[in-house]
Amino acid sequence: MLNIEYIENLDEKFYQLIDDEFNKYAIKNDVKCNYKPFNFVAKKDNIVIGIITGHSYYKEVHIGDLIILEKYRNKHIGTRLIQTVEDYFKDKGFKNINLTTYNFQAPEFYKKCGYEVEFIRENKEEPKLTKYFLVKYFND
């Protein structure tokens, strides 16, 4: 009998299983998976003031979260974290960086950083939750 359960936090063995299966399937399809998570942390006076996380996979990089503590916003810290990710992955064989953001968050910020809107999923009931899909291509 099949049993399906909700697990709040997975331990390392589950992440290893996910990684192994992604890689096996990619190899079977003659594709290099390249999956690696990344995290960059901005600190001032040894205090964390910003974090950017994500992962690289296949031929692209995905930014998952960009968080700047409220009192440090509008000081170009987010821009510097974005630039750090771009510099880190530049010339490593990746074709683009992509991310998603909501209307109430930062679509204009990402556009200023050179990201192009690839798609918008409109939320007519809650316009603040309209979702933007953005991409920036590396120059070859």
pLDDT digits (tens, 9 = 90+) for 92-125: 999 999 999 999 999 999 999 999 999 999 999 9
Residue 36 has pLDDT above 90, yes or no: no
For 96-130, b where at least 16 C-beta lie within 10 A, e where not — what string? bbbbbbbbeebbebbeebebeeeeeeeeeeeeeeb
Per-residue pLDDT band for 140 (boundaries 50, 70, 90) equals low
In order of their start, the domains of the chain are 12-137 (3.40.630.30)
